[in-house]
Chain A
Amino acid sequence: MSDRIFSVVWLVFCAAVAWLAWQIEAPFSYEPIGPRAFPLLLAIAMALSCVWLLAKPGREPDWPRGALRGKVILMIAGFLAYAMAFEWLGFPVSTALATLLIGRIFGGGWKGSAIAGVALGGGLWYFFDRILDVTLPLGQLWAGA
């Protein structure tokens, strides 16, 4: 069933790609096939493959259920929040919070995860920014104040 849902979603996606690709036009071109052909070709190939998959789907995957499903959703939300907060709160603070959350999801205690968060946020910032010279943000929020 999941394979079929994927196929249908992807067929719609292919149609959108084909529609967008059709509108691509090079103002001038020296070659017989322009920028439009390859994406169109891919969209057709993907669509044909999806039709095949629709006809012959594989076995059903083991989607997470119950408490595990909640954890997976929380983890995804956590990743998104971490990505959004990365520049805003800065690397040390956002990493400490992300570590606390992910640590708790993976069964760490409050205290242990909090300590790990502070250590990772501070330690990795120092390691990358100061020692390796990979610039990391300290946070727009604090800079404005």
Chain B
Amino acid sequence: MDSLGHLAQGFVVAAKPLNLLVAFLGSFIGTVVGLLPGMGPINGVAILMPIAFAMKLPPETALILLAAVYIGCEYGGRISSILINIPGDAGAIMTALDGYPMAKKGLAGVALSISAWSSFVGSIIATIGLALFAPILARWALAFGPAEYFVLMVFAISCLAGMVGDRPIKTLIAALIGLFLATVGIDAGSGVYRFTFEDVHLADGIQFIVVVIGLFSVSEMLVMLEQSHAGQVVIKHTGRAMFNLKEMAETWWGTIRSSLVGFVVGVLPGAGASIASAITYMVEKNLTDREGSFGKGDIRGVAAPEAANNSAAGGAFIPMLTLGVPGSGTTAVMVGALTLYNITPGPLLFEQQPDLVWGLIASMFIGNVMLLVMNIPMVGLFSRLLYVPNWILVPAIAAISFVGVYAVHATTFDLVLMVGLGIFGWAMRKLDFPMAPMILGFVLGDMMEQNLRRALAISDGHLGILFQSPVTLVLWVLAIVVLVAPWLIRRRRSRA
């Protein structure tokens, strides 16, 4: 009951003209960023974050903007998956498997509208879940001490290592590099400078934006250069624009199931939209595909992953808001955004900043309605953007990325560091190292170290404190399970 009152208060915040405008702009920008191959939610949010800060938007407005962009991306990614068989972002990879064949059959309009609809259902289910479960988890997390937090972050990193990429060792190295980059600068515990080489630019650490835009945007442009020789053909004949009731009935249960699975995956720290959509596609294929039509343009194969990537994006807000431990790369960037405003996400956020939290949740309901309208009747407008050639698109991405980094500190040093990290990130990506764990490690690094040191200060240096409470023990067991389970499954599969 309490939640409903808060939610009503949240709608008051979200309905302020500025916040409505920002939710609309965010949804629009998000759809565009999502549909452009080479730009995903992480870049979109990372570039907009310093700009929102430089524009002096109030924190709840900035967060509403970033959240709208994030959710908009999960809608927009499907457009390019369906029309040009190139996923617009990582969450839409599975959508291409059946979406593009559908489009080739002349059913692009149906694929676009049903996937917008299932995106909407997934998002709304996740937002309801967020409103229901986040306050409970926040209350529960109030009892977390530094030891619990430290083990929770160990769990988050094992989630990543277990689920992201084919080589857990590479995910682990990426996360460790992220953790290390976070140690550069003044140490919060003792005031000592670490790894700064007496350079004034490094004294307060490597800027978060520099790392994100370097690793994602700059490296992405280099990847686009390598792939640009492959010609893109946009499907022009989109056919019937709206799905009919029969198609809706056919996909209904799959959409609900995928939304629930996606939500749970999204809540897990570290596992985001791309993993959720891959899992649900496999689940739906195993459950419902009797004729072997998945992969050949089955409408259920379009609806399911789209519901899942949207609900995972919504679910990822839960650990971020309640624990301060982001559930995906994009929410990791949002934690960085909040720290620009000196707001530390965590269990106290619900008590200290109810307007921020509930305004955000309420605006997600509003934003999803806006996105549904944008993505069904207006989808033709967005799909025209796919005709923008790379020789205009890439310089524009470059310029906006540079503006984003420059907006924070206005130094050439940050720009050069960004390019350096971009080259490094590109080389790492070529070597199959995933980038999201590096970002997550970078965000968690400081928290992880400070909590470890605080825990050991309480126990006077005894490591036993990390294994004492029931919560820590459960988290250690879970961490081992998520590390070992995928490996066991893979082994069983390769034997069978």
Enumerate chain A interface residues (CB-CB to B < 8 A).
2-3, 6, 10, 17, 20-21, 24-27, 29-35, 37-39, 42-43, 45-46, 49-50, 52-53, 56, 58, 61-64, 68, 71-72, 75-76, 79-80, 82-84, 86-88, 91, 95, 98-99, 102-108, 112-113, 116-117, 120-121, 124, 128, 132-137
Q: Which residues of B contact A (CB under 8 A)?
A: 51, 54-56, 167, 169-170, 172-173, 176-177, 179-180, 183, 187, 189-192, 194-195, 218, 221-222, 225-226, 228-229, 389-392, 394-396, 398-400, 402-403, 406-407, 410, 412, 415-416, 418-419, 422-423, 430-432, 449, 452-454, 456-457, 460-461
Majority SS at the chain A contact face: helix
Q: State in angstroms the CA–CA spacing of A25 and B394 once bound together.
A: 46
Indicate which residue in B195, B229, B392, B403 contacts A116 across the interface (CB closer than 8 Å): B392
Which among A32, A35, A82, A112 is the interface contact of B391 at CB below 8 angstroms?
Answer: A112
Q: Which residues on the A side are within 8 Å of B226 (C-beta)?
A: 64, 68, 72
| Contacting pair B406 A38 (CB below 8 A) | no
Do the beta carbons of B177 and A46 come within 8 Å of each other? yes
What separation, in Å, do the CA atoms of A53 and B406 have in the docked complex?
A: 37
Contacting pair B218 A106 (CB below 8 A): no
Nearest A residue to B427, CB-CB: A6
Q: Which of A24, A42, A82, A104 has the most CB of B within 10 A?
A: A42
Question: In the bound complex, do residue B177 and residue A106 qualify as a contact, i.e. CB atoms below 8 Å apart?
Answer: no
Contact B173 A106 (CB under 8 A): no
Known A38-B183, A72-B222, A106-B394; contact A49-B423, beta-carbon cutoff 8 A: no
Contacts of A35 in B (CB 8 A): 187, 189-190, 192, 194
| Bound Cα distance A132, B403 (Å) | 12
A46 touching B180, Cβ below 8 Å: yes
- Contact call A49/B398, Cβ cutoff below 8 A: no
Q: Are A98 and B390 in contact (CB under 8 A)?
A: no
Q: B221 contacts which chain A residues (CB < 8 A)? A: 75, 102
Q: Cβ of A29: which chain B residues have Cβ within 8 Å of it?
A: 190
Contact (Cβ within 8 A) A134 B407: yes
Task: Knowing A46-B173, A133-B55 are in contact, say whether A86-B406 is a contact too (CB < 8 A).
Answer: yes
Chain B residues with CB under 8 A of A120: 395-396, 399
The total number of A-B Cβ pairs within 8 Å is: 188
Chain A contacts of B403 at CB under 8 A?
91, 124, 128, 134, 136
Tell me whether A38 and B169 are in contact (CB under 8 A): no
Contact A32 B461, beta carbon cutoff 8 Å: yes
Are A87 and B412 touching (Cβ within 8 A)? yes
Q: How far is the CB of B243 from chain A (nearest CB, A)?
A: 37
Residues of chain A within 8 A (CB-CB) of B452 are 33, 38
Closest to A56 in B: B169
Are B399 and A95 interface neighbours, CB within 8 A? yes
- Which A residue's beta carbon lies closest to that of B459? A32
Minimum C-beta distance from A56 to chain B (A): 8
Separation in Å of the B157 CB from the closest CB of chain A? 11
Q: Can you pick out 11 interface pairs between chain A and chain B where the beta carbons lie within 8 Å of each other?
A: A24-B187, A35-B190, A53-B169, A80-B416, A84-B412, A106-B225, A107-B389, A113-B391, A124-B396, A132-B55, A135-B54
A-B interface, 3 closest residue pairs, ranked by CB to CB distance from nearest: A108-B391, A32-B461, A99-B395
Contact call A134/B55, Cβ cutoff below 8 A: yes
Which of B176, B228, B422, B461 has the most chain A CB atoms inside 10 A of its CB? Answer: B176
